[in-house]
Chain A
Amino acid sequence: MATIASSSSTVLLSASSSNLLPFSHPSTSRLSFSSSLSSSSSSLSISPTFLSHNSSNSRHFVNHSAFTINASAAKKKKVLIVNTNSGGHAIIGFYFAKELLGAGHSVTILTVGEEGSDKMKKPPFNRFSEIVSAGGRTVWGNPSEVGSVVGGEVFDVVLDNNGKDLETVRPVIEWAKSAGVKQFLFISSAGIYNPTDEPPHVEGDAVKADAGHVGVEKYIEETFGSWAVFRPQYIIGSGNNKDCEEWFFDRIVRDRPVPIPGSGLQLSNLAHARDLSSMLTLAVENPEAANHNIFNIVSDRAVTLDGIAKLCAQAAGRPVNIVHYDPKAVGVDAKKAFPFRTYHFYAEPRAAKSKLGWQSTTNLPEDLKERFEEYVKIGRDKKSIQFELDDKILEALKVPVSV
């Protein structure tokens, strides 16, 4: 962690919006700033976690943000992450914890369930030592007993990255309130948006009234002084608990056709986990700007289902054979046969850009290359996989499969 000794005790940083750099390099991320106003000295900590170069001596920052950071808002926070023990959102807590720790904040991550469970043998949980060695604390337990699980530790911020309904999140909210937590953050879902003729889903658009996440969002708004909710889509990145791009790699690397339901033109959104952690970190460090806001926590480009297949093939350096089919006509359940929603599902991160000065760094062509390298490194390309549903689809369409 690089530090700069500053002669003044407050640090004010600003970046003019007209100097925003076009996004390009995927490994350049926003710098997180924090300054501690201790009585003896003040220091500026810069997180090198995702930097591509060491800027410890540089006063010229690559800053994608377009707002002024006040020293008072950038002080170190104590953050509790209540994290799910499985599924596509599990990765969020892992990246968020590491980014916060790199920025000098203190982190406890409470994972649902037991430390010894089989679920903990999968990523990202099998890499939690990285959180510990970065100075974070990992605990396990039931969120409904969060108070006793964290053992009376005091927090400034709580992120619930677990509950999908009020029954599950309410105990966490209630405890946070009574324990004097200042800011409550919640990972909701972009799946709650009503379908629309006019994409993209934008913060403020109508949502499904009966969705579990909606109940939670409403309750947080009614209950907490300072809050923000985040609606994600699909996430990629090392440490993912749920397959995403792997579904495509599995087929491409074995020279199998890639069956895509419908026209393949349906839009989706894949974001690298570092985009999610950077937005959440900005919210923690700028609570006034984040307060009372819904944020679509997604990358800023849509990709078609066909496009995902093509980009995965490019990343793998192999050809791709896309086959479209009608799930009903073939007699398969698209939810089982295909990993993404089969209708347009595209939200844009407009609130984060305008209110937090956040920028997306997801670069699918580059990021998928990295993902494919890891896919091969862990030997998944050699793994024996059954493609029962694929075979059923291809049989119905009379598409030959090379052996």
Chain B
Amino acid sequence: MSLKELSSLEKALGLKKPNKYSTQGDRKVPVLQSINGPALVGLVTIATHLVQEAKRPELLGGSAEHKAVVQQWLEYRVTKVDGCHKEDIKTILKDLNSYLEDKVYLAGNQFTLADTLMYYGIHHVIVDLAVQEKEKYMNMTRWFDHVQHYPGVRHHLPPVVVLRNRVYTSGHH
């Protein structure tokens, strides 16, 4: 799964030569084999490395503070979202929803790597949401829709339909 993500990310970044990957351990942690150095292990580590290789540092954030926020959501993705239990999904959606209430992207107004990886990581959850649930987590869904339409991001994943009109208007104000 994470290998597909990395290959989509490579395409999104416009990297010409695809890298060679393998996985290790029960959790199938991705490993990037490299000719001129030791292998890199871990999704975020490799993704960050790829962004640097593609000379797209803005995707990791500008200021120290901005960078930290990007890192934080990358860390959130691999510690909280990956392998989360059923009962935690609601909490994650709720938290993301309230966090995104006044933001366009995870790190504010600028699209970053955090958006890409969070999108990849949470896609399987969003696919299964009912229309009503999507409305309930409206801010999160809006973000998701933005990201899936961001040029070059959605490669290996099917699009998720997000209604712009609210169907269940009475439930919440």
Do A and B come from the same complex?
Answer: no
* Interface of A toward B, CB cutoff 8 Å: none
* Interface of B toward A, CB cutoff 8 Å: none
